[in-house]
């Protein structure tokens, strides 16, 4: 054997061994099996754009907007003019240097956030000049773009998920995701968020993204979210919002023939745009600490007020239905009603006035409804049974219940039953006169503005309502099928006298200010006494100004409840606002610009200050 043969043989053996080993590793994969597939492939979530929200006329209320975060990969950093850069960003030089140091502490090769939510003007400048600052780049982020300022309470806001929420729904959320926090954003989170996709990508040894894996064949595309169409009419929503300037209270307007809410206004409100994705919690804290205005408290949905005189319409209906009265029966009012020895319920009717149901609603006669209520409670063997009967009718109007509308907050209100009074006064120790205040909506019964708007709609419909709801369409699917007609316990024929009373109240009764030319408005005023505790002492404040109405009388298109805290007379605030909104909704404008101006400019802030100042104060001025 010569060296040629020896070397050839060795070479041959080496070649065979190598080929065998390579075949083993590369074709048979005997060594690692799949290890190579898992170790360097990462995936990231692809977020679909959050669903847009439209009003009933197709006006965009909420869409998405791009904001920019300034990112830095410290490894690529070169010498830069920190002073100029800091001034573009609106930071001080030291702040910028500290941010860069923090980023460097985190990782040299992975991007860190230097500044979030860069203002529009700064991002424009940055887009032009970013090339001067190697290592820095702008990262897009989608946030909510609220097109109207009038519906933050209704629409809600979004914010980053908390660890607790991630645990609750750990199949979906991950840190940094946004979630609806209140209003429509929270209620329809599942529809609005869409479905996240997954993008697989390769990492290099520094964990940097080095491109998609196998040309994206394994990627799951994000499923875009559903757009929502609300039943809200953004025009009157905005209008009502403006009319409520410098006032506290709530407005709910409902379309009686569908149950769709046309406007939901609660004042004071907050700003969803400032709340979303805020790393600076000052704004949120300032809202949550404002215990006077309570901006997160939705007065239209959550505030439980005494319904006041508008409640008389329901008592009248119950009396008619229970045949305690009929449309011709009358009660005498002697400037009020002496319901028990020494106890007198005042009224504004002159001495010896005889009121039938229609007049009593027109004039809002307290005596009439006190006597009606007494008869009603006493019509059964015991007052408990009488109250129970009364209560069942009220329940059928949706009182004492959350109503089941599609927003995540609300209050049930309260409709007392016989047991409640038996517990309060003791068995057989009470009768109709003990609870007579309920006759005029001032007693133990409390309702929320949306409940009042709802029963107004039921009256407008002559005996039925649709559960109020805010979303008309999810994507292309109408939601009306989820809201079937709910009948009240009152026969439709019994509504006519009450509706006539409401119509006359507007025409020549208590609320002539709500009269609109060529539109038959039916309304009922309310001026609600209310009390608070100041230093442990029950103190009366200026009455709430309340108004319920629907229009037109035949085939009503809008039912509305306006509740203004401490506004005094109904016709001072609530009735004009309700009337203006109805006019705006039905005609698109107003002929009473003087009234509109007074409402827009009127302020109750002085009234709200009174109990806070610590001095004695006078009410109902």
Partner 1 sequence: MTRRPHFRRLDLISLLVYLILISISLIMIYSISYSLYEPNEIFTLGSQFFKQLIFVSGSLVLGFFIYLLKIKFLLNSTDVFYMISLGLLLGLFVFGDRIAGAQSWYSIGTFGFQPSELAKVTTVLMISKLFHRNDGDALIFRNFLLVLGIIFLPMILIVSQSDPGTTVTFLFLSFLLYRQGISVVVFMAGILVFFIFMITLIFGTVKSILILFLFVYSLYFLIKRFNLGITKRILTLVTCCSLVVILFSGFVYYQIFEPHHRDRIEVFLGLETDIQNIGYQLNQSKIALESGRLFGTGYLNGPRTLGNYIPEQHTDYIFTAVAEQWGFAGSILIIGLYILLIIRVLNRASLHNSQFRKTFSYGFAAFLLGHFLINIGSNIGLVPTIGIPLPFLSYGGSNILSFTIFMAIYLSMDYRRLSHKTLNDYPA
Interacting residues with partner 1 (CB under 8 A): 2-4, 6-8, 10-12, 14-15, 17-19, 21-23, 25-27, 29, 31-32, 35-37, 39-41, 76, 202-205, 208-211, 213
For residue 15, the minimal CB distance to partner 1 (Å) is 5
For residue 72, the minimal CB distance to partner 1 (Å) is 14
User: Of 203 and 473, which CB lies nearer to partner 1 in the complex structure?
Assistant: 203
For residue 116, the minimal CB distance to partner 1 (Å) is 23
Query: Residue 93 has which token pair?
Result: 């030089």
- Helix ranges, 306-382 (H): 311-321, 357-363, 366-378
For residue 65, the minimal CB distance to partner 1 (Å) is 29
Q: Is the peptide bond before 552 cis (omega within 30 degrees of 0)?
A: yes
Rounded Cα distance between 422 and 419, Å, is 5
For residue 16, the minimal CB distance to partner 1 (Å) is 10
Backbone phi and psi for residue 77, each to the nearest 5 degrees, phi listed first:
-65, 135
For residue 44, the minimal CB distance to partner 1 (Å) is 16
User: Of 136 and 337, which CB lies nearer to partner 1 in the complex structure?
Assistant: 136
User: Of 19 and 492, which CB lies nearer to partner 1 in the complex structure?
Assistant: 19
User: Of 12 and 49, which CB lies nearer to partner 1 in the complex structure?
Assistant: 12
3-state secondary structure of 328: coil
3-state secondary structure of 344: strand
User: Of 2 and 618, which CB lies nearer to partner 1 in the complex structure?
Assistant: 2
User: Of 9 and 612, which CB lies nearer to partner 1 in the complex structure?
Assistant: 9
- Report CA-CA distances (Å) from 616 to 56, 389, 487, 565: 48, 43, 49, 19
User: Of 214 and 343, which CB lies nearer to partner 1 in the complex structure?
Assistant: 214
Rounded Cα distance between 596 and 245, Å, is 12
Sign of CA dihedral 131, 132, 135, 136: negative
Rounded Cα distance between 199 and 209, Å, is 11
Helix (H) or strand (E) holding 152: helix 152-155
Q: What is the dihedral of CA 171, 173, 174, 177, to 10 degrees?
A: 160
Rounded Cα distance between 518 and 198, Å, is 60
User: Of 35 and 279, which CB lies nearer to partner 1 in the complex structure?
Assistant: 35
For residue 113, the minimal CB distance to partner 1 (Å) is 19
Rounded Cα distance between 123 and 93, Å, is 18
For residue 141, the minimal CB distance to partner 1 (Å) is 22
- Report CA-CA distances (Å) from 507 to 502, 504, 514, 517: 9, 5, 8, 10
């Amino acid at each position: 054997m010569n060296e040629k043969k020896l070397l050839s043989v060795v070479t041959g053996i080496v070649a065979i061994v190598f080929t065998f080993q390579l075949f083993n590793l590369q074709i048979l994969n005997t060594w690692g099996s799949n290890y190579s597939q898992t170790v360097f492939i990462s995936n990231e979530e692809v977020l679909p754009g959050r669903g847009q929200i439209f009003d009933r006329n197709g006006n965009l209320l909420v869409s998405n907007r791009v904001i920019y975060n300034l990112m830095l990969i410290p490894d690529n950093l070169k010498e830069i003019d920190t002073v100029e850069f800091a001034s573009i960003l609106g930071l001080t030089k030291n702040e910028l240097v500290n941010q860069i140091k923090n980023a460097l502490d985190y990782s040299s090769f992975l991007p860190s956030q230097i500044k979030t939510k860069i203002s529009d003007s700064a991002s424009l400048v940055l887009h032009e000049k970013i090339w001067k600052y190697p290592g820095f780049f702008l990262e897009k982020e989608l946030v909510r773009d609220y097109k109207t300022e009038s519906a933050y309470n209704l629409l809600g806001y979004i914010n980053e998920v908390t660890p607790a929420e991630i645990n609750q729904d750990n199949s979906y959320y991950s840190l940094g995701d946004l979630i609806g926090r209140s209003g429509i954003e929270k209620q329809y989170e599942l529809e609005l968020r869409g479905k996240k996709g997954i993008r697989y990508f390769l990492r290099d040894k520094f964990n940097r993204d080095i491109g998609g894996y196998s040309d994206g064949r394994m990627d799951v595309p994000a499923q875009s979210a559903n757009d929502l169409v609300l039943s809200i009419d953004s025009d009157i929503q905005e209008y009502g919002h403006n009319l409520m300037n410098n006032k506290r209270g709530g407005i709910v307007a409902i379309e009686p023939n569908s149950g769709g809410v046309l406007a939901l206004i609660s004042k004071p409100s907050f700003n969803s745009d400032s709340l979303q994705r805020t790393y600076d919690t000052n704004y949120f804290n300032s809202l949550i600490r404002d215990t006077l205005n309570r901006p997160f408290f939705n007065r239209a949905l959550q505030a439980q007020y005494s319904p006041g005189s508008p409640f008389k319409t329901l008592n009248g209906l119950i009396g008619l239905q229970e045949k305690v009265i009929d449309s011709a029966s009358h009660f005498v009012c002697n400037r009020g009603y002496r319901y028990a020895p020494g106890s007198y319920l005042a009224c504004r009717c002159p001495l010896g006035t005889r009121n039938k149901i229609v007049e009593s609603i027109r004039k809002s006669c307290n005596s009439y409804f006190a006597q009606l209520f007494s008869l009603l409670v006493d019509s059964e063997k015991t007052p408990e049974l009488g109250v129970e009967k009364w209560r069942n009718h009220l329940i059928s109007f949706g009182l004492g219940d959350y109503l089941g509308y599609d927003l995540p907050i609300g209050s049930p209100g309260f409709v007392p039953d016989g047991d409640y009074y038996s517990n309060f006064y003791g068995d057989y120790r009470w009768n109709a006169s003990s609870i007579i205040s309920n006759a005029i909506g001032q007693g133990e019964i409390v309702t929320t503005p949306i409940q009042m708007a709802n029963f107004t709609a039921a009256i407008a419909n002559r005996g039925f309502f649709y559960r109020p709801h805010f979303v008309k369409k999810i994507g292309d699917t109408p939601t009306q099928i989820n809201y079937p007609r709910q009948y009240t316990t009152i026969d439709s024929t019994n509504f006519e006298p009450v509706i006539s009373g409401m119509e006359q109240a507007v025409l020549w009764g208590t609320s002539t200010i709500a009269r609109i030319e060529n539109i038959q408005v039916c309304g009922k005023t309310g001026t609600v006494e209310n009390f608070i505790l100041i230093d442990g002492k029950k103190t009366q404040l200026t009455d709430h100004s309340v108004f319920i109405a629907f229009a037109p009388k035949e085939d009503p298109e809008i039912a509305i409840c306006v509740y203004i805290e401490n506004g005094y007379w109904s016709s001072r605030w609530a009735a004009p606002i309700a009337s203006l909104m109805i006019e705006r909704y039905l005609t698109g404008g107003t002929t009473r610009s003087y009234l509109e101006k007074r409402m827009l400019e009127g302020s109750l802030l002085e009234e709200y200050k009174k109990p806070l100042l610590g001095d004695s104060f006078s009410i109902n001025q």
